[in-house]
Amino acid sequence: MNLEKLLKFQIPSMEAKLTPRDAMLYALGVGVGDRPEDPADLQFVYEGSRPLKVVPSYANVICHPGGWVMAPELEVDWVKLLHGEQGFEMHKPLEPGLSYVSSNQVLGVLDKGAGKGAMLFLRKHLHESGSGALVSTIDSTYVLRGDGGCGSTVNEAQSPHAIPERAPDTSVELATLARAALIYRLSGDYNPIHADPVIARKAGFERPILHGLCSLGVATRAVMRACCGDDPARLRSLRLRFSSPVYPGETLVTEIWRDGEVVSFRTRVAERNVLVLNNGRAVVA
């Protein structure tokens, strides 16, 4: 990676209108609708809802700058890139029918050493078009496994949130569909490892995997169900670490600890007893 060029690179600003169809398609992609007659689900997937609401984790998806890290002049070994952590803070709810614009910046790079990779810290601010009101702040951490020895701009990474040592206060079990990745990709992430079995196997997976941000969306639903009464306006922020891939059709069990407004959580795949999301922290009203 060329650190100097990366720090000077202008990540494109994106603008998009959030249509009711976008909101409903995303909700279906993260599994909303498993209770098809429940108003708590219909508020996200039925245009007759007054008002139609947006799953908060959609802030991670809308106005995403795309594969900018693949620009040749940056010399990033993007094939070896992994999504390490993701977090978002909601300053006001997303609303269907409004247009949004993003601004993006590199917060820093932490070099782990030659042969050990590097960490890239990114931030996206999402604003309403026109009014300029800040809607969400989204932070992403990428692990650049092939770019160790590039140099650092920060000395250390943020420590992961510690999960309480006591037994969880509750848990939420949510199944994913075998076709979940094929639905979720229509919200904008067309990476073929989520659809093409041949390419998935070349990448080291036995079959196409579920998008990490889709798993995050499922965990968001679990936190809203357990701690927010399915009211998206009560979810103020959420952050987690990706631990292992999920395969479409697997069941995600999210263990939850509640300490006042702070919610700690982690998610396992029931069928394999594998921890896939860890160090989760949310703040709820």
List active site positions.
Answer: 189, 194, 209, 212
3-class secondary structure, 20: helix
Nearest to 102 by CA among 54, 137, 74: 137
Q: How large is the angle between the packed helices 20-29 and 212-227, nearest 10 degrees?
A: 90
Rounded to the nearest 10 degrees, how much is the dihedral formed by the CA atoms of 214, 29, 194, 125? -50
Six-digit token string for 254: 């999210």
Is 32 within 8 Å of 57 (Cβ atoms)? no
- What CA–CA distance (Å, rounded) separates 139 from 125? 9
Which residues are 122's β-sheet partners? 106, 140
Q: Write out the two tokens for 194.
A: 């989520």
CA distance 217 to 224: 11
Close Cβ partners of 283 (under 8 Å, ≥ 6 residues apart): 235, 236, 237, 238, 261, 262, 263
Radius of gyration of the chain (CA): 19
CA distance 52 to 236: 19
Q: Which letter does DSSP use for residue 156 in this model?
A: -
Q: Are the beta carbons of 6 and 144 closer than 8 angstroms?
A: no
Helix (H, G, I), strand (E, B) or coil at 28: helix
Please tell me the distance from the alpha carbon of residue 131 to that of residue 190, in angstroms, as a whole number. Answer: 31
Q: Which of 22, 41, 68, 13 is nearest to 184 (CA)?
A: 22
